Amino acid sequence: GVVWSGDAAEIMWENEKLDYVVPKEGSNLWFDNMVIPKTAKNIEGAHQFMNFMLDPENAAQNAEYVGYSTPNEKALELLPEDISGDERFYPDAELTDRLEVYENLGKKMLAYYNELFLEFKMHKK
């Protein structure tokens, strides 16, 4: 099944018979972002929170807790080797070169994919 890497870490912790792999053909490259909405009322607090989360010690603690990989190089140095050396979550360039950011194909294609999925769900033998 398809699952986010952080969810996979939790699932594998609960059931060691399961594993997390990226298909040899590649997969999507995804990433989280922190943003401040233009309607935010506490912009200074938002900046303080971002700086807190980006601090290497906090970022390492967060990565270890949530199971998601960290892109913070200083935080990566602080992680235990069994985490930072796990190529399933910190793959080498050979694998990451096959990852891609999905492209927004627009509303027409989204509607088409939704129709295909509906057809798949409703199919009876």
Return the pLDDT at 125.
62
Enclosing H/E stretch for 28: strand 27-28
Return the pLDDT at 58.
98
Return the pLDDT at 32.
82
CB of 76 closer than 8 Å to CB of 60:
yes
Domain residues of the chain, as ranges?
5-122
Q: What is the mean pLDDT of the chain?
A: 92
> What's at 124, amino acid-wise?
K
If you compute the radius of gyration of the chain from its CA atoms, what whole number of angstroms results? 19
Spell out, as residue ranges, where the chain has pLDDT lower than 70.
Answer: 124-125
3-state secondary structure of 100: strand
Enclosing H/E stretch for 77: helix 73-78
| pTM of this structure | 0.75
Return the pLDDT at 31.
80
